[in-house]
Chains A and B, each alone.
Chain A
Amino acid sequence: MEKELRLMKGNEAFAEAAIRAGTDGYFGYPITPQSEVMEYLMAEKPHERTGMVVLQAESEVASINMLYGGAGCGKKVMTSSSSPGISLMQEGISYMAGAELPCVILNVVRGGPGLGTIQPSQSDYSQSTKGGGHGDYRLITLAPSSVQEMYDSVKLGYELAFKYRNPVLVLSDGAIGQMMEKVEIDAQVERLSEEQIREQHPWATLGRHNGRERNIITSLDLDPARQERHNEALQRKYKEVEEKEVRYEKINCDDADYIFVAYGTSARICQKSMQLAREKGIKVGLFRPITLFPFPKKELHEMAGQVKGILSVEMSAGQMIEDILLAVEGKVKVEHYGRMGGIIPAPGEVVDALEQKIVKG
């Protein structure tokens, strides 16, 4: 079969992927720079294409709780937002993690704190990978760095979300959301019927068919011993995710003296910086985490023994560097370089930073 290729914005690709992946419901609230997701969905009339529900909620608080309701019924549900909206969702995300509900949440990150700016940023790393809301929990966090990966993150997101019964966060940024690239579109996945959901997700609240025991979706257990056991089970799950689901990409790392560690837009910049540095005779490679939680700790730890220094490049004050430091355990020098406030670093700046902070330093 011919592959279907389209030129799309990152946000539109995500929306098309949502329909193709057999999503049952999208619930969202407009915010720049991701409003194209809902706009695209509304224009596409997915209720006619697949029967998918698309609803503009009254707030991000409502949209995340709509996800809770839909996910509790075993449905494929998703939302998209940008930083301030994602902050507003944190209570609901914590409830979903506690109740072990699958969903896909897209954060097209913009600069903060506060209303900040509508320009791209990567300053929500810690919020995304360390929990974000209250309680001990983790989100599986995917970091696409191209429009194709935005598209692919939907299917992969659902796969992981249902496999582990856990929310999946897609951590993108304004640059990837807005840029246009070629995307390979895959075939339509059928939405599951109620019968199929009953079989595949016996925990779902679809009504007590055939007199089965009632199903309950809750994050509450007032008994400390049981609540501790529940927490321990969650921690075992996150550990399993860390063992099995690490994804990353290595470019030019085999002969490298130094490496950049970067994801998303920063990783794209670093590709160019890598070329520039190599033209100058500095052998640098790029290590690109694709999953931020689970973070590729082991792989970075191994790399640390083979290089003379690591530059963490992130459009933030330096959040991911903490995970890198933990991974390399002091084996090698690690420094951060980043820009804030919605500024994307130029490739040359990154090379300068590498030279000053790592090569000379």
Chain B
Amino acid sequence: MEDTLVKSEIIKPENRVYKKTDLMTEKVLSYCPGCGHGTAHRIIMEVIEEMGLTEDTIGIAPVGCSVLAYEFMNVDMQQAAHGRAPALATAVKRLMPHKTVFTYQGDGDLAAIGTAETIHAANRGERITIIFINNGIYGMTGGQMAPTTLPGMKSSTSPYGRDLDMMGHPLKITELVAQLPGTHYVTRQAVHTPSNVRKTKKAIRKAFELQHQNVGMTFIEIVSNCNSGWKMTPVQANKWMVDNMFPFYPLGDIKVDGKMVEG
């Protein structure tokens, strides 16, 4: 019995393996258990804290499940109309070029209603970072078809599966913005495993660094899950994402240093 540790002996600075960043508020996340939004929020905030950008960062929240991102992200935030975050960010950054400005947007927000704002902000080379959470569905409104919904994938407005003839093809908007000379760094990542989290964090850090080198837009897609909208358990949803989303939306850098990645 002598070698049993009591709580006070465990909770010591030298034993600490993880600390919640102060840039996540104490508010309980409104996301479904297992949803990728929470992880994505946390790592963005960790990067801002690690880079010492807290005092000069302005984030723009979208309309979608992450509409309340400003309740969780402990930096100055604005909440945009559906799809318009890149327009807000454009003005914030142009009026204060020394700030770090990012938008956080879902696929409906960024690739349907906000397509024009996305493409034109990218094409103007706005010095902002867009973080794009692609879960292939409208999570917030209850699982309707998104511009990124996969061929044949079921949703509440494509109950028999996405019929490409009738409903059009999924929009690979990340490949599209990569084609524009205004984007400098475009990458597609995920946050479902520790190693993917590390890679995504690295990508966010790189994007925020590039913001201050005056080189153009940085764009990070995070392929994510929506277990509620997909009607799966969190574990099933992650497996389904790996098996179905990743082949269609392959992970990795698409454009680096203003040049398309070969292959």
Chain A residues close to B by CB (< 8 Å): 24-25, 27, 53, 55, 57-59, 61-63, 65-70, 72-73, 75, 77, 91-92, 95, 99, 194, 205-211, 214-220
Contact = CB atoms under 8 A, between A and B. Distances in A.
B83 to A, nearest CB: 9
Given A205-B78, A205-B92, A218-B79, 13 more contacts: A55-B90, A58-B116, A58-B120, A61-B84, A65-B80, A65-B117, A69-B80, A69-B87, A194-B96, A207-B76, A208-B55, A208-B76, A220-B79
Contacts of B68: 220
Contacts, number: 126
B91 A66 contact: yes
B87 A218 contact: no
B156 to A, nearest CB: 22
A210 B54 CA distance: 10
A70 B89 CA distance: 9
B56 to A, nearest CB: 4
Contact of B87 (A66, A75, A77, A220): A66
Contacts of B55: 207-211
B87 A57 contact: yes
Interface in B163-177: none
Contacts of B67: 220
Interface of B: 54-58, 60-61, 67-68, 70, 73-81, 84, 87-92, 94-96, 99, 116-117, 120
Given A65-B117, A69-B89, A208-B54, A25 B80 contact: no
B78 A59 contact: no
B79 A217 contact: yes
Contact of B84 (A24, A27, A62): A62
Given A207-B76, A220-B79, A92 B94 contact: no
A216 B58 CA distance: 10
B76 A65 contact: no
Nearest to A62: B87
Nearest to A27: B91
22 contacts: A25-B91, A25-B94, A27-B91, A53-B95, A61-B117, A65-B88, A65-B117, A66-B87, A68-B78, A69-B92, A70-B92, A70-B95, A72-B78, A73-B92, A75-B95, A206-B99, A208-B54, A208-B55, A210-B55, A216-B70, A216-B79, A218-B78
B87 A65 contact: yes
A69 B81 contact: no
Nearest to B63: A220
Nearest to B81: A95
